Structure 1
Amino acid sequence: MVFTTHFGGSTAVLTPATARPAALARWLWIVAWLVVAMVVVGGITRLTESGLSITEWKPVTGAIPPLSEAQWRAEFEAYQQIGEYRQITGPAGMTLADYKFIYFWEWAHRLLGRLIGLAFALPLAWYWVRGAIPKGYKPRLLALLALGGLQGAFGWFMVRSGLSGEVTDVSHFWLSIHLLTALFTLGGLVWTALDLDRLAKIPGARPARLGGFALVAALVLFVQLLLGAWVAGLNAGLASDTWPLMQGRFVPEFDASRGLFWAVTHDPFLIHFLHRWWAWAAVAALIVLARRVRPLERRASIAIHAAFGTQIILGIATVWTGVSLWVATAHQFVGALLVMATAWGAHILGRRP
């Protein structure tokens, strides 16, 4: 049995009678907040240089941490074979207790990823079998599931990039792919939850479309997030602890000997500079987005303003504190909230009658 309605003489199938868009929306909001937690724990993992502490990827058995002293020593010995230990943490005098600290954050990050996978896959299967998924939403939910799987794969590629030879850190390119995939997935979860919320309130409501200025604002924000990921991957936040100047000047000295493109994608001083000033382009775009959203949904406009305002303050504070762990973590947390607020505002502008 299905509900139908007529538009201009044609019949459109809306949703099965068993569909539960409101329940699906609540489920997706829960998963979205779990992804936010994942981004935060991932930020702590990066800031504590914990990402290379686990040198193998064991999707099932890796969920159980070492339980005996012998197991801990085996893990520590495996870590001692990589460049990060031989060149950085080993000479600094890392002990087994120190290793357990960084192991915890990487293990927690991977465990949370596994939990998110289960929190998405199992309810999806249940809703699918029960016929609770509205018409047209199954491909999108499968795409979100696939993004979650890619996120795990990209995370391992990122870790693997830091395990070979005398490399002492992960590739900042793989780190940016890993982080941006998480934020893109977060935006998709929020967007789909909003579509389902609206469908629950307005039977027959069509999914919103991303276009016009909302797409422009999203692309400007994407560039800023990409630059932020490169800053994290290259430890470029440490390039300067002053603001607004760097090295006592507006534009810092940077290495352009291998060309400007290489400098834009590799030089920590230039990338730090671009990240701190492209932020204002993002602010301008988000202000316009929020002003367009305000007549339609004042709360979304306030959320966008609050998120980017707090993010700017935390970004400056991160610089001034020399990348304090908890200030920088808060900066990444609010970055995830900004993605959610931007998705909310763009969704409102993309809603169709």
Structure 2
Amino acid sequence: MRETTEAGRLRGTHPLAIASWLITVAVLVVLMVVVGGITRLTESGLSITEWKPVTGAIPPLTEAQWQREFEAYRQIGEYQQITGPAGMTLADYKFIYFWEWLHRLLGRVIGLAFALPLAWFWVRGAIPKGYKLPLVGLLALGGLQGVFGWFMVRSGLSGEVTDVSHFWLSIHLLTALLTLALLVWVALDMIAMAREPETRSARLTGLAALAGAVLFVQLLLGAWVAGLDAGHASDTWPLMQERFVPEYDGARGFWWAATHDPFLIHFLHRWWAWFAVAALIVLARQAKKARERMASVVLHSAFGVQILLGIATVLSGMALWVAVLHQLGGALLVAATAYAAHAVGKRT
């Protein structure tokens, strides 16, 4: 008798192996977000002034090569106005070069870690029906992330500019976090399919989309805080400058200030977090109602720890490793949100 079930359709595919691969790539993306945070916090992002996708994987190996790289860095506004007058040495330059180089190297590693297994699964006919296009889309999104990263760096290399555009930084970071969420989502689809062949791909519910949108605003504000060094706007909590609403430059209107003024952006990021928490609590409860208690526990834990890390980052005066943990917490919160949203939208 001819098979008409999903079990028959999945014959020859390897959803569990694909899930393991996607989770591995997701872990690499989280690591890249962390290294990207260190790169930003150590002001290392402009240390490499050229984009060489292939040859750039090899760092300078001789003293002459180091001098050439350092000389190129000396031509940009950041060196001429900030690090040069502060007395930057070649040893100092090598330190910031390392973090930017490692960040770019991880991007290359992630590209290979995704593209090569994808090709192997494709050739072997191991990809379940309906998932080839989403996986190719993920590959394209990863490539786009690299392009956005270069646009971000380039925005800080011209003229008298001394830093990258916080808008490009937010696009770069949010693309990485979107990629992470989609990796987790497809991996969960594969796991569900391996357990129950009749299971269909999860759908994005209206509630999950709303929670994701509220979280997106919070992540966007966080990226702007990083891009504008707005974390230094206050080292007290809950008040800023001994006030609830800090003084900010509103001469060009509220919306300009909300996208450019470090004090107002810090304030908005600080308090929009509670709207995000409210939305995520509702999502977590829906996951629990869907009999996915673990997704609810993971999401509650993720936003709880993230709130504490955010407060600790402020009170520490933007201590490097506390701020890095806060960025790690943001990435894990995105993964947890994807987990809960998938649980709510899972279909059989």
Which TM-score band applies after superposition, normalised by the shorter structure? over 0.9
The residue number in structure 1 matching 2:117 is 123
Write the mapping of 1:240-319 to structure 2, written as runs, cut at 5 A. Answer: 240-295=234-289, 296-319=291-314
The residue number in structure 2 matching 1:147 is 141
The residue number in structure 1 matching 2:206 is 212
Q: Deviations over 1:298-344 (max 9, x none)?
A: 11111111111110111011111110100000000011110011100
The residue number in structure 2 matching 1:327 is 322
Q: Go from structure 1 to structure 2 and tell me whether the alpha carbon gap of 1:343 and 1:14 turns closer, same or farther (over 3 Å shift).
A: farther
| Residue 345, structure 1, aligned to residue 340, structure 2 | yes
Q: Is the 8 A contact 2:10 2:197 kept in 1?
A: no
| Cα offset, 1:16, TM superposition | 4.6
Q: Deviations over 1:213-239 (max 9, x none)?
A: 111111110100000000000000000
TM-score by length of 1: 0.96
The residue number in structure 2 matching 1:8 is none
Gaps of 5+ in 2: none
Q: In structure 2, what residue type is equivalent to 1:350?
A: G
| Residue 71, structure 1, aligned to residue 69, structure 2 | no
CA distance in 1, matches of 2:268, 2:18: 40
| Cα offset, 1:3, TM superposition | 5.1
The residue number in structure 2 matching 1:165 is 159
Q: Deviations over 1:245-273 (max 9, x none)?
A: 00110000111111111111100000000
CA distance in 2, matches of 1:209, 1:113: 29
CA distance in 2, matches of 1:31, 1:15: 26
| Cα offset, 1:15, TM superposition | 3.0
The residue number in structure 2 matching 1:114 is 108
Gaps of 5+ in 1: 6-11
CA distance in 1, matches of 2:7, 2:240: 59
Q: Deviations over 1:64-102 (max 9, x none)?
A: 000000000100000000000000000000000000000
The one of 72, 76, 86 equivalent to 2:80 is: 86
Q: In structure 2, what residue type is equivalent to 1:199?
A: M
Q: In structure 2, what residue type is equivalent to 1:219?
A: A
Q: In structure 2, what residue type is equivalent to 1:4?
A: T
CA distance in 2, matches of 1:264, 1:130: 51
| Cα offset, 1:14, TM superposition | 6.3
CA distance in 2, matches of 1:30, 1:86: 41
CA distance in 1, matches of 2:22, 2:273: 29
Q: Is the 8 A contact 2:248 2:263 kept in 1?
A: yes
The residue number in structure 2 matching 1:26 is 20
Q: Is the 8 A contact 1:3 1:17 kept in 2?
A: no
TM-score by length of 2: 0.98
The residue number in structure 1 matching 2:4 is 4
CA distance in 1, matches of 2:281, 2:107: 33
CA distance in 2, matches of 1:54, 1:3: 57
What root-mean-square deviation, in Å, do the aligned CA atoms of Structure 1 and Structure 2 show?
1.1
Q: Is the 8 A contact 2:309 2:325 kept in 1?
A: yes
Q: Is the 8 A contact 2:7 2:197 kept in 1?
A: no
Q: Is the 8 A contact 1:175 1:229 kept in 2?
A: yes
Q: In structure 2, what residue type is equivalent to 1:226?
A: L
SS in 2 for 1:114: helix
Q: In structure 1, what residue type is equivalent to 2:344?
A: L
CA distance in 1, matches of 2:14, 2:270: 44
Q: In structure 1, what residue type is equivalent to 2:311?
A: I
SS in 2 for 1:294: helix
Q: In structure 1, what residue type is equivalent to 2:236?
A: T
Q: Is the 8 A contact 1:14 1:134 kept in 2?
A: no
Answer with 286-295 or 39-48: which moved more: 286-295
CA distance in 1, matches of 2:215, 2:264: 19
CA distance in 1, matches of 2:10, 2:269: 47
Q: In structure 1, what residue type is equivalent to 2:209?
A: L
| Cα offset, 1:13, TM superposition | 9.1
Q: Is the 8 A contact 2:313 2:323 kept in 1?
A: yes
Q: Is the 8 A contact 1:243 1:316 kept in 2?
A: yes
Q: Is the 8 A contact 1:3 1:16 kept in 2?
A: no
Q: Is the 8 A contact 1:20 1:133 kept in 2?
A: yes
